[in-house]
């Protein structure tokens, strides 16, 4: 049975190149061909963004190019159940999800999972122009030239970005995503164990990419003529940097192993706060700026300065890699982006306009007074193209 599930997950994940990592739903029974036209059906799904500290959950639909969100909520991730995007304690995670879904009255059966991990390999490659049926073979060969991995342990997804000409030869610019098969199977088994239907598996930067390109998010954060946008997910255990060029194509991605947990630890170690009062203290007593000083804000500034130093190194690396391509705007989201004064503080330190996502254009969100910044990945994952 286990072997069958692995085969299902792999074959389904390879189906939908447009979505980078495609469906991992159970294989549908073949139906007799019909001459009747197919009609698009509205499908309501429940999506999980399972992080190290919390699980973000969205219920909604994407129908006729319109994204509607019916519910948004979160729950704590059981300790030790997720590590770098990998499920390490399935039973604890399953119990937490089952309770949360029941407690919120969720009866939707089709599930999307979105995640991120340093073990997911994302590369843009330039290869000779080949036929579609040769694409995977050529990409595998190119990847194995410089990455010491066994691609038999990964699910490879490829998508052609554009056709280019180089040295009078036609070539293809290709995005290749190598997703660990064991990780994909673990999510597949998790959803099955909940008695739900695995519908799609996504990667956070692809979920974000769909928001950028399908709901007009760049109406709020416009590109400059030669600039790129850096979207920075400020998480509890990691800071994910995703840079998109002016065509709305993912150009660069990096994960930095630091995050909001470092601020929590610093405040507690210096006895400025306790576990019980931590969240309230962060909301009421901390404001990052260059003029006022107090023990709370100064403690957080020390951590924020370390974040900014690491972010600056990543941005500089990107600029060098992309022939001095400039970043016109930095857009913050994720739980740690809520630190009072962080966008302005980062902007002054980096010399780049920085802001936080606080609204999403062209998206119907029924829950009111919700911190949209925490739910960007899970909202984007509902868009199926």
Q: The CATH number of the domain where 166 resides is what?
A: 3.30.1490.300
| Model confidence pLDDT, tens digit, residues 243-300 | 988 777 888 899 999 999 999 998 898 878 888 888 888 888 888 887 767 888 888 9
Q: Within a domain: residue 228?
A: yes
Overall size of the chain counted in residues: 385
Tell me the pLDDT band of 355, cut-offs 50, 70 and 90.
Answer: very high
Q: Within a domain: residue 135?
A: yes
Q: Is the pLDDT of residue 47 over 80?
A: yes
CB atoms under 10 Å from CB of 212, counted, come to 20
Number of domains composing the chain? 3
In whole angstroms, give the CA distance from residue 27 to residue 191: 15
Q: Within a domain: residue 365?
A: no
Burial of 338 (0-12, 13-18, 19+ CB in 10 A): middle
Range of the domain at 250: 221-356
Within 8 A by CB and 6+ apart from 69, the residues are: 58, 59, 60, 363, 364, 365, 366, 367, 379, 382
What's this model's pTM, rounded to 2 decimal places?
0.85
Percent above pLDDT 90 for the chain: 50
Cα 337 to the chain's mean position, in Å? 15
Tell me the pLDDT band of 146, cut-offs 50, 70 and 90.
Answer: confident
In this structure, are 238 and 101 located in the same domain?
no
Tell me the pLDDT band of 224, cut-offs 50, 70 and 90.
Answer: low
CB atoms under 10 Å from CB of 11, counted, come to 12
pLDDT (0 to 100) of residue 40: 60
Q: What angle do CA 59, 60, 65 make, to 5 degrees?
A: 160
In this structure, are 135 and 111 located in the same domain?
no
In this structure, are 232 and 153 located in the same domain?
no
231 closest CA partner among 147, 329, 323: 329
pLDDT (0 to 100) of residue 227: 78
Q: Within a domain: residue 250?
A: yes
| Model confidence pLDDT, tens digit, residues 74-90 | 999 999 999 999 999 99
- More confident site: 115 or 34: 115
Q: Within a domain: residue 333?
A: yes
Q: Within a domain: residue 141?
A: yes
| Model confidence pLDDT, tens digit, residues 302-352 | 999 999 999 999 999 998 887 667 898 999 999 999 999 999 999 999 999
Within 8 A by CB and 6+ apart from 270, the residues are: 295, 299
**Residue 114 pairs with which residues in a beta bridge?**
49, 202
In this structure, are 135 and 199 located in the same domain?
no
In whole angstroms, give the CA distance from residue 355 to residue 40: 37
In whole angstroms, give the CA distance from residue 63 to residue 41: 8
In this structure, are 129 and 106 located in the same domain?
no
Three-state DSSP class for residue 75 = strand
β-strand pairing of 227-234 with 239-244: antiparallel
Q: Within a domain: residue 371?
A: no
In this structure, are 160 and 186 located in the same domain?
no
CA distances from 312 to 223, 327, 350 (A): 20, 11, 7
In this structure, are 76 and 194 located in the same domain?
yes
In this structure, are 185 and 252 located in the same domain?
no
In this structure, are 253 and 327 located in the same domain?
yes
In this structure, are 96 and 125 located in the same domain?
no
In whole angstroms, give the CA distance from residue 283 to residue 339: 7
Q: Is the pLDDT of residue 6 over 60?
A: no
Residue with tokens 């089709």: 110
Buried b (16+ CB within 10 A) or exposed e, 55-64: bbbbbbbbee
In this structure, are 230 and 269 located in the same domain?
yes
In this structure, are 173 and 188 located in the same domain?
no
In whole angstroms, give the CA distance from residue 127 to residue 166: 10
DSSP at 280: H
Task: Look up residue 353 and give its two tokens.
Answer: 């306009």
Residue with tokens 């850096």: 230
**Sheet of 121-128: strands edge to edge?**
121-128, 169-180, 154-166
CATH number at residue 71: 3.30.420.40
Q: Within a domain: residue 158?
A: yes
């Amino acid at each position: 049975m286990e072997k069958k599930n692995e085969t299902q997950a792999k074959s389904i994940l390879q189906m939908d190149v447009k979505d980078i990592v495609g469906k991992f739903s159970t294989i549908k029974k073949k139906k007799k061909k019909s001459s009747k036209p197919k009609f698009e059906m509205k499908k309501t799904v429940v999506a999980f963004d399972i992080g190290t500290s919390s699980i973000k959950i969205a219920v909604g639909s994407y129908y006729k190019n319109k994204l509607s969100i019916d519910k948004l909520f979160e729950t704590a991730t059981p300790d030790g159940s997720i590590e770098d995007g990998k499920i390490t304690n399935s039973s604890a995670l399953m119990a937490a999800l089952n309770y949360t879904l029941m407690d919120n009255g969720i009866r939707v059966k089709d599930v999307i999972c979105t995640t991120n991990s340093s073990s997911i390999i994302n590369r843009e490659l330039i290869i000779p122009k080949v036929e579609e049926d040769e694409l995977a073979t050529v990409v595998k060969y190119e990847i194995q030239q410089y990455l010491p991995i066994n691609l038999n342990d990964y699910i490879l997804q490829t998508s052609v970005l554009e056709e280019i000409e180089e040295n009078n030869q036609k070539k293809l610019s290709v995005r290749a995503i190598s997703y660990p098969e064991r990780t994909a199977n673990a999510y597949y088994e998790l959803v099955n164990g909940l008695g739900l239907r695995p519908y799609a598996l996504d990667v956070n930067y692809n979920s974000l990419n769909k928001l950028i390109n399908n709901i007009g998010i760049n109406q709020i954060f416009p590109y400059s003529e030669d600039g790129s946008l850096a979207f920075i997910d400020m998480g509890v255990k990691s800071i994910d940097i995703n840079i998109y060029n002016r065509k709305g194509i993912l150009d660069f991605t990096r994960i930095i192993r630091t995050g909001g947990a470092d601020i929590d630890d610093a405040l507690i170690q210096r006895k400025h706060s306790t576990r019980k009062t931590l969240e309230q203290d962060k909301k009421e007593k901390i404001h990052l700026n260059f003029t006022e000083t107090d023990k709370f804000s100064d403690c957080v500034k020390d951590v924020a300065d370390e974040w900014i130093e690491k972010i600056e190194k990543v941005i500089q690396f990107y600029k060098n890699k992309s022939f001095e391509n400039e970043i016109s705007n930095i857009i913050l989201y994720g739980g740690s982006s809520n630190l009072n004064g962080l966008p302005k503080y980062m902007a002054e330190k980096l010399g780049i306009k920085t802001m936080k996502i606080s609204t999403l254009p062209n998206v119907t969100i029924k829950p009111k007074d919700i911190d949209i910044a925490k739910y960007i990945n899970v909202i984007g994952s509902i868009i199926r193209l």
